[in-house]
Structure 1
Amino acid sequence: MDSFTATPTHPSPRRRRPGPSRTALAAASILASSTILQAMAAPGAATCVALKATPIANTTVTSATYVTAATGNYCLVGATVAPQHDVQVVLPDNWKSRYLQSGGGGFDGNVPDAAAMAAGGAFAAAGDNLVANGYVVTADNGGHRGSQYPGASFAVDRGLTLSYASGKIFDTHLVATALMLQYYGHEARYNYFSGCSNGGKNASVAASNFPDYFDAIIGGDGVWGQARDPVGGSDMAGLTSKWAQTVQLGSITPAQGAALHAAVVNACDGLDGVKDGIVANIQACNIERVAERMRCSAGASGACLSDADFAKVTGYITPLKLDGRVIGAPWSGATDLSLVGASSFGLGSGFLAMAMRTPAPVNPATFDIPRQFADVAAVLDGVYGMTGDLYGIERYLKRGKKLILFHGWEDPVVPSYVSVDFFKALTRAEGEASDNVRLYMDPAVAHCGGGNGADSTDLVAVAAKWVEQNEEPGSYRNPTVAWKRAGASAPADVSGASFTRPLCPYPSYAHYVGRGDVDAAANYVCRPGL
């Protein structure tokens, strides 16, 4: 395990806990009466069912069911914050004063199964059973019901869009805090947030807007900062513009995408010391040169790249600029670039609908980026606060709070450089802001998982050790390991892995030491990247 200390780390400052004001705020804001906030009895079936009577302002507790399970018994509670923000809360009997709030996905609209997430595996960045490890876990529908508002059709309703952007994080936390106070007699000591994709976007808002509520935040494949921030186009208006540009460039064919991806692997696979079908040292790979070799000769067709197709590829992997300033982060050339058009159309159309406050979808091909960018940024940032701003996140970190980012290098939904460029912006600041954030770029991993790489990890446990024991990620006692699950029937934790790799903090990458099992993380070191 010594390989995990190959990249130097900095000592973390001692965790600073918020004062009692948050408890007072929760008590004042959540409860509609002056009921004494103590558990009526020890956690169990009777206490669980009684939670249906918990008075929470503007909220109806719709269900409370006691569940017995081999990994630990828990109370599963459903609640609705008016008008239609549905929440699930899992309250384990074996509570260790830990709280984990989950982010959403896509355009939300449905409540993920919080009990399944608490069982581990199905929860982004968690490999162990969260109930057994004493976490209260939440899930929510993002403030609206997909049965009434499919996709991004809620964009016409400003209140529902505000809830989707940020209000749901606040409301879910308040509901869960009220239930913890009633069920256990006190709120959580350790508070975490984790999400991927839209949940990664939610993580930026949690850090910037609600710093008192979370001790550590995990955000994967997300969106960060705002258009006025120097984040290299990692913000929501910038990403929306990059999606629109991608649509406007047009698509390459699946055959061309597969051939280009295979050519990249063939050219750059060995840059990490082993030929295993995984390009770990992606930034040392000259993607444009690989694409140049695929240019069609006269009269050729098929998987080669015509002049027009080559222009599309270079457009994808080049930052989008407006008036000389980068406003959109580029796609990674390790991605199968034939896949980026479909996701760009679907997501771009939804966020343009929110920005223009019109029914979805809005065709991204009609978005005049030079003329309309400022208006889109004004709404997504100024009206909705769709993402957390850079300086709010910096303040969160300077208070000693922890932030873990992760992103798949082959993500075809959110460009991988969104996380890279935002991380660079964060770490330009010296001191605590840099000490308290980590970025893990996952080789050969797609959007929030999938691909040929090691796409499973337990960053929740890593974050908990960082907060609760002051053990930095990557240390001997707190290694950051990723694994590829052997199959759907294999255990969700590392015991069910077909191979493992160290997760190296950006800009380092995992390099094979040249001896030992190539499938074992212990035989890799974290080497400095570009």
Structure 2
Amino acid sequence: MTRLSPRLGIALLGGAAMGMAAVAMFAPVESVRAAPAGSCESLTGLTIAEGKIDSAVMVKQGEAITTEAGKPGLPAPAAFCRVHAVLKPTLRSEVKIEVWLPEGAAWNGKLLGAGNGGYGGTLTLPALTMRTGIAKGYAATGSDMGHLSNDVDAKWALNEPEKVVDFGHRANHLAALLAKQVVGSYYPKPLAAAYFHGCSDGGREALNEAQRYPTDYDAIIAGAPANPWTRLMAGFMADHRAAFGKPDSIIPNAKLKLLQTASLAKCDAADGVTDKVIDDPRKCSFDPGVLQCKAGDAADCLTAPQVETARALYRGTVDAKGKSIFPGYMPGAEAVAGTWDLWLTGANAQHGRFSTEFYRYMVHANPAWQPTDYDPIADPKLAAKKFAGILDASADLSAFYKRGGKLILYHGWYDAAIPPENTINYYEDLKRMQRQAASSTRLFMVPGLSHCLGGPGATGFDPLTALDQWRQGGPAPEQMVATRYDNPIFAYFGLPAKALGTRPLCAYPKVARWKGTGSTDDAGNFDCVAPS
């Protein structure tokens, strides 16, 4: 199993009225169309609202695409014009945006917006999605979310309400408007369609685009969305307190293998294939109490406090009466790199880091605030009051659906950053709130997928092609073929990786079931069926 880069895993999560007034200063795409610029470099002379294009240069195929000074970049899959702009929609805003434009003959006539991750702060993560877009012939755009930082740092938000609005939703909207203007100025033919793809915080960004700015994109992909952000941070803090509330509650990294081995032994074969992947872990009634030490502590068992920590993380956040507030995490991949150790139980577990930054710099605006100051009743209410209207996306996508918008949701069952059931709950809310959701949305739950990428299952799939075919008039996707690779991280980046097998991903609630004959590494030997 290839080890997931902790930084990459972390990063993927990785004054509203005044802000909206500033956004309105951008002219609609139709009114800013200009004659084709003729060359990449000439785009620096394009007049844009509330900002400036400070560079436009050609990038050769194979040339390294660097997004942070001093750090290496991946090779460009094709030649493109790289446009960099800085927008200042308010006095305290500074949003860095890039637009990548394939050479004329290579452009497929469409635009791909790319989500960021974590707290944003650079263009590194959007560039990964933009690179995929360029390889497929899309023009592409992304932003740094309006501030400079690393992806787990929220110091930039201290007493900066406009920067929070930029992070919450405005930066991606401005990127869409700017990209459409640049595309209209660079190519002689009009834009045929615009799509957006983001995972983790990028998934939250995707849902905000659909809800707040329904005309920005024609169709959207939201993976493992970190939404609603304010409630997710309350869940993160609850996880942190459960895992580290007392010294004897901490589960050592070496003991995570005990949980994984025991949960797989109980539930792996239930779907008819023993492959170290539990297809629907909700049906696994694994209780970590079976691992409790008979007396004292030992390497091959869990102490009673450690058992209670595991139970709390599986269960999720509950109120005083035991009612669920936020879902928990699934059994089967506790010891997989980039899962529990990175997010939940390790010495530097990211749930504690993300939630502490949120409450310290946004909610309380107090750099001295500590997790021990957290009030599980008052603080989530205060966070929602101050920031739900800026950061959270609602399930009211009626305006997006009304104009024909299509939405693909996906989430990995082995995600230890954002609970998989959170996306299922959002999908069910969509269908309850608007009739069009059933025909205009598809959800794919991915067995064996960790947070956005990696994991022991068939985790390589192509939602963009499925979305494009659907948007172009094809039927709604009922399944996608996913590939298991020897190096899933390389495969995610579009670098050489060996395919080891395929499985179908089925539109929820259907699940893939082996027909009973033929290789279990061939998607053709599986059917998508209603769950038992």
Secondary structure of residue in 1 paired with 2:454: coil
Q: CA deviation at 1:213?
A: 1.3
| Closer, same or farther: CA 238–327 of 1 in aligned 2, 3 Å | farther
CA contact (8 A) 1:218 1:405 kept: yes
Q: CA deviation at 1:394?
A: 4.5
CA contact (8 A) 1:78 1:87 kept: yes
Residue in 2 aligned with 1:260? 259
CA contact (8 A) 1:88 1:138 kept: yes
| Closer, same or farther: CA 48–138 of 1 in aligned 2, 3 Å | same
CA contact (8 A) 1:84 1:145 kept: no
- Tell me whether 1:411 sits opposite 2:415 in the alignment: yes
| Closer, same or farther: CA 248–454 of 1 in aligned 2, 3 Å | same
| Closer, same or farther: CA 305–498 of 1 in aligned 2, 3 Å | same
CA contact (8 A) 1:244 1:365 kept: no
| Closer, same or farther: CA 181–243 of 1 in aligned 2, 3 Å | same
Q: CA deviation at 1:104?
A: 0.4
- Tell me whether 1:389 sits opposite 2:394 in the alignment: yes
Alignment of 1:348-359 (within 5 A): 348-358=355-365
- Tell me whether 1:330 sits opposite 2:328 in the alignment: yes
| Closer, same or farther: CA 422–74 of 1 in aligned 2, 3 Å | same
- Tell me whether 1:468 sits opposite 2:472 in the alignment: yes
Secondary structure of residue in 2 paired with 1:134: coil
Residue in 1 aligned with 2:42? 50
| Closer, same or farther: CA 118–305 of 1 in aligned 2, 3 Å | same
Distance in 2 (CA, whole Å) between partners of 1:133 and 1:423 is 29
Distance in 1 (CA, whole Å) between partners of 2:368 and 2:153 is 9
Q: CA deviation at 1:258?
A: 1.8
Residue in 1 aligned with 2:484? 484
The one-letter amino acid of 1:259's match is: L
* Higher RCO (Cα < 8 Å, 6 or more apart): 1
Q: CA deviation at 1:114?
A: 6.1
Alignment of 1:278-317 (within 5 A): 278-288=277-287, 291-317=288-314
The one-letter amino acid of 2:353's match is: G
Partner residue of 2:139 out of 125, 136, 141: 136
- Tell me whether 1:73 sits opposite 2:85 in the alignment: no
Secondary structure of residue in 2 paired with 1:76: strand
| Closer, same or farther: CA 144–430 of 1 in aligned 2, 3 Å | closer
Q: How many pairs align?
A: 470
Q: CA deviation at 1:284?
A: 1.9
Distance in 1 (CA, whole Å) between partners of 2:32 and 2:284 is 62
Secondary structure of residue in 2 paired with 1:88: strand
Identity %: 25
| Closer, same or farther: CA 458–489 of 1 in aligned 2, 3 Å | closer
Q: CA deviation at 1:322?
A: 3.7
| Closer, same or farther: CA 252–507 of 1 in aligned 2, 3 Å | farther
User: Given the two structures, how large is their TM-score scaled by the length of structure 1?
Assistant: 0.82
Secondary structure of residue in 2 paired with 1:192: strand
The one-letter amino acid of 2:382's match is: D
Residue in 1 aligned with 2:56? 64
Alignment of 1:120-519 (within 5 A): 120=132, 130-146=133-149, 151-156=153-158, 157-185=160-188, 187-224=190-227, 235-250=228-243, 251-288=250-287, 291-322=288-319, 326-336=324-334, 337-338=340-341, 339-341=343-345, 342-358=349-365, 362-382=369-389, 385-391=390-396, 393-429=397-433, 431-474=435-478, 479-487=479-487, 492=494, 496-519=498-521
Q: CA deviation at 1:162?
A: 1.0
| Closer, same or farther: CA 266–323 of 1 in aligned 2, 3 Å | closer
Deviation track 1:250-284 (CA, whole Å, cap 9, x = no partner) reads 23221222210121112111122111111113222
Deviation track 1:460-504 (CA, whole Å, cap 9, x = no partner) reads 111000101332112xxxx51111233366693999522211111
CA contact (8 A) 2:114 2:129 kept: no
Q: CA deviation at 1:131?
A: 2.7
Deviation track 1:6-46 (CA, whole Å, cap 9, x = no partner) reads xxxxxxxxxxxxxxxxxxx8973689xx97612133xxxxx
| Closer, same or farther: CA 168–37 of 1 in aligned 2, 3 Å | same
Tell which deviates more after alignment, 69-78 or 205-214. 69-78
The one-letter amino acid of 2:441's match is: V
Deviation track 1:359-412 (CA, whole Å, cap 9, x = no partner) reads 568533432111222111111213xx2121122x24423543111111111112
The one-letter amino acid of 2:27's match is: A
Distance in 2 (CA, whole Å) between partners of 1:216 and 1:528 is 27
CA contact (8 A) 2:26 2:177 kept: no
| Closer, same or farther: CA 51–517 of 1 in aligned 2, 3 Å | same
Secondary structure of residue in 1 paired with 2:180: helix
The one-letter amino acid of 1:50's match is: S
Q: CA deviation at 1:103?
A: 0.6
Q: CA deviation at 1:447?
A: 0.8
Secondary structure of residue in 1 paired with 2:516: coil
Q: CA deviation at 1:331?
A: 2.0
Deviation track 1:50-93 (CA, whole Å, cap 9, x = no partner) reads 00101001111111112343864321111111243111111112
Residue in 1 aligned with 2:118? 106
Q: CA deviation at 1:203?
A: 1.0
| Closer, same or farther: CA 295–159 of 1 in aligned 2, 3 Å | same
Distance in 1 (CA, whole Å) between partners of 2:531 and 2:242 is 31
Could you list the runs of 5+ residues in structure 2 that have no partner in the other structure? 1-23, 63-76, 244-249, 335-339
Q: CA deviation at 1:514?
A: 1.5
CA contact (8 A) 1:152 1:360 kept: no
Distance in 1 (CA, whole Å) between partners of 2:507 and 2:355 is 30
Deviation track 1:181-234 (CA, whole Å, cap 9, x = no partner) reads 11124652211110111101101111110111111111111133xxxxxxxxxx
CA contact (8 A) 1:281 1:529 kept: no
Distance in 1 (CA, whole Å) between partners of 2:379 and 2:233 is 12
User: Given the two structures, how large is their TM-score scaled by the length of structure 2?
Assistant: 0.81
Distance in 1 (CA, whole Å) between partners of 2:119 and 2:296 is 44
CA contact (8 A) 2:207 2:393 kept: yes
Secondary structure of residue in 1 paired with 2:215: helix
